[in-house]
Chains A and B, each alone.
Chain A
Amino acid sequence: MDPIALHYDVSGTDFTCAGEASGKIKKALKELGFPTSITRNVAIAVYEGEINMVIHGGGGVIDAEITPECISITLTDQGPGIPDVSLAMQEGYSTAPDNVRQLGFGAGMGLPNIKKYTDEMVIETEVGKGTTIKLKVFVK
C-alpha cells in the first residue's frame, strides 16, 4: 500500500493561522483510526513544530507521510536557523517575542516536547538559511 502524503503551507505572516495544519493532520490520523495515544503524540509534536515555524521561522511547509507502521513529519522553513541547537533544546530557553507570550507561548517547552512525544527527531539547521525538523512516531 502506498503511504498517504499530506502537504501544508504554513503562513509566516498571519500568526492567527498557526496551528491549522497540525489540526488537519490530527483530524486525518483520527479518521485513519490510529490509536488515540499515537494521534495525540503526533498532534502535539507537529503543533509545537508548526508554532515554532510561524513564530521563529517565518513560515514554511509541513509534509506528512503516513503508513500503518510509522508517521513521518517534515517541517521546513527558510527562516533564520537555530544558532545553538543544544541550547534551543533546553527546557525554558526561548527567544519568543512579547506579543505571543501573552497568548501563552514562549515557555521554551516546544522543542523539548517534540522530543518527548516522538520516537525520532532530527534537526537540520543553518543560520541564515533555515531549519528542517524531521520527526517519526512508530505505531507499535
Chain B
Amino acid sequence: MDTYFHSVRLDKDKCRGCTNCIKRCPTQAIRVRNGKARIIKERCIDCGECIRVCPHHAKYASRDSLEQLDSYKYKIALPAPALYGQFNNLDDVNIILNALPSLGFDAVFEVSKAAELISDVTRLYLEKMNPPKPAISSACPAVVRLIRVCFPELIDNIILVNAPVEEAGRLARNRAVAKTGLKPEEIGVFFISPCPAKITSFKQPIGTDKSNIDGAIAINDIYPHLLKAMEKIDEHDELVALHESGVIGIGWATSGGEASGTLNDNALAADGIENCMKILEEVERGNLDSVDFIELNACQGGCVGGSLTAENPFIAKSRLMKLRKYSPVSCNRLPTKEIPSEMLCSVPIEPCDDVMKLADNVQEAMARMSRMEELLKTFPGLDCGTCGAPGCKALAEDVVRGFTTEHDCVFRARQELQDIENIENPEQLEKIIPAPFRETLKKD
C-alpha cells in the first residue's frame, strides 16, 4: 500500500489554477504549478477543506459506488450517525435503517452503537490507564493526521482506542460470520461516510494493521437513492427495530457529543480545523494540562459538517437533537469493567513530521532558514498566492527546498523589470507577467 494514499484528489480538467484552495489548506499542502493545483501528499490530512472551498469542484474524494457491493456475498451498511441528521421531518431512525437494505445491503449495523461502547471504553481508559493529560480523542482521522504531521510531540496524548467506525466494522463482521457461516473475506463492510478522512483511514489504517472496513459510500452519493427508498416505506409498515443507540451514540455526530459521553465535566470540545489547531497549540504550550479529555473534530460542527454530507451542519445538528430526545442515555455498554484488548489500538501511532522539517540535519536546516529570511525581505509580504504558494513565507520555503525559484513572485519580477531601463518590447513583458498584472504594469 502506498504510504500516502489519500482520498482527496484533484480533477485536473476542472482546476482553473486559482488560489482558493492553497489559501485554505491548514497544512499548506497545495501549490499551483503550471496553472493547476498539486497536492503535496506527505502533508495532506484529508480534512476536506479544499473540497468545500473550490468553486470549480475540482477537488473530490475518491470513494466507492453502490456497484462495489457486488464483489461480496454478504454486504453490511454501517451508517454514520451524521446520516440521521440529513432528512427533514424524520421522527424515527428506523425508517433510514429499514430503507438501507433495498439499496443492496443484507444487514445494517449502526456506528452509533459502537460509539456508545467506545464511550464506555473511554471512561474506563481515563479512569484506569492514567493517560498523559490532556488525553486527546483519536476518533477524527484528520485530527490524528494533523497531530502526526504538525504536532508530533502530542502523539502520546492520543487515546489509543478504536474509532467507532472500526469497532462497528469488527462487531458487524463477527455478527455476520456467526449468522451466515461465510468466511470473513466474503463479507463486505461499507461505511456510509460523511468524510474523506475516514475513507483514507480505511486504506491507511491508524492504530491497526488492517482496517475492518472494505469500502465507503459518501453520504451525498447515497442520499438521493436512500431518500427514494425511505419514501417507499409506508407509515403503516411494520418497521424492524434496528435502531439500537441512544443520546450518547447519536451525540457523536456533533461536536461535543463524544466529550459529553465521557460524563466528565473536565472535558473540552473544539471543531473546525483552525480551532483544532489553536487548541493543539495551547496543549503544546502546556496550558491545558489540567483538562482530562479533549475532543477535536476537523469539521465545523463535528461530523455533521463533513465535506461529503448533504445537509447544512447546523440544520443537521438541530434535527439530531430532536431525534435523540427521550432516547435512553445509552443502549450499549461493556459487559464488564475491563477494557477488551480488541478495542484498543494494536499498532502505535507514529509521527510523520519529516515533511515539515526544513532539512534532515540542524545545520542545513539553519542555513535554509537564514536563506528564507533573506528571501522574505525581497517579497512584498502580501501573501497574495499568485506565485502558486499560499503565502510569501511558503514560497521562500519552497525556494530553499529547491522546488522552485524566487522568480515565481510576480511583484519581485515586476521590480526586476522596472530595474531594466528600457523595456522595448511589450510582448516580451507579457510572456513573463501573469495576465491579471499586465495592466498595472503597463500603467507604470
Chain A residues engaging chain B, CB cutoff 8 angstroms: 14-20, 22-23, 43-44, 47, 51, 97-100, 102-104
Contact = CB atoms under 8 A, between A and B. Distances in A.
Contacts of B259: 102
B328 A19 contact: yes
Nearest to A16: B330
Contact of A102 (B120, B246, B256): B256
In the A-B complex, the 4 residue pairs with the closest CB atoms: A19-B328, A102-B260, A98-B265, A16-B330
A14 B329 CA distance: 10
A103 B120 CA distance: 15
Contacts of A22: 328
A17 B263 contact: no
A53 B426 CA distance: 84
Contacts of A98: 265
B51 interface: no
Contacts of A51: 329
B248 interface: yes
Contacts of B333: 14, 16-17
B21 interface: no
Given A15-B329, A18-B329, 17 more contacts: A15-B263, A16-B119, A16-B333, A17-B328, A19-B246, A19-B247, A19-B328, A19-B329, A20-B331, A23-B328, A51-B329, A98-B265, A99-B263, A103-B247, A103-B251, A103-B260, A103-B329
A44 B326 contact: yes
By CB atoms of chain B within 10 A, which of A20, A51, A103 has the most?
A103
A43 B326 contact: yes
Contact of A97 (B119, B256, B265, B321): B265
A101 to B, nearest CB: 8
B263 A19 contact: no
A17 B326 contact: no
14 contacts: A16-B119, A16-B248, A16-B329, A19-B247, A20-B328, A97-B265, A98-B265, A100-B263, A102-B267, A103-B247, A103-B260, A104-B260, A104-B324, A104-B325
A17 to B, nearest CB: 7
Contacts of A16: 116, 119-120, 248, 263, 329-330, 333
B404 interface: no
B327 interface: yes
A104 B321 contact: yes
Contacts of B247: 19, 103-104
Nearest to B329: A18
A19 B248 CA distance: 12
B264 interface: yes
B330 A17 contact: yes
Interface in B312-349: 321, 324-331, 333
B421 to A, nearest CB: 69
B240 to A, nearest CB: 14
A99 B251 CA distance: 14
B330 to A, nearest CB: 4
Contacts of B328: 17-20, 22-23
Interface string B222-266: 000000000000000000000000111001000010011101110
Contacts of B331: 20
A47 B329 contact: no
Nearest to A98: B265
A99 B267 CA distance: 9
Nearest to A47: B326
B275 to A, nearest CB: 18
A22 B246 CA distance: 13
Nearest to A48: B326
B270 to A, nearest CB: 14
Interface in B78-121: 116, 119-120
B321 A103 contact: no
B327 A99 contact: no
Contacts of B116: 16
A19 B260 contact: no
Nearest to A21: B328
A73 to B, nearest CB: 15
A42 to B, nearest CB: 11
Contacts of A99: 260, 263-265
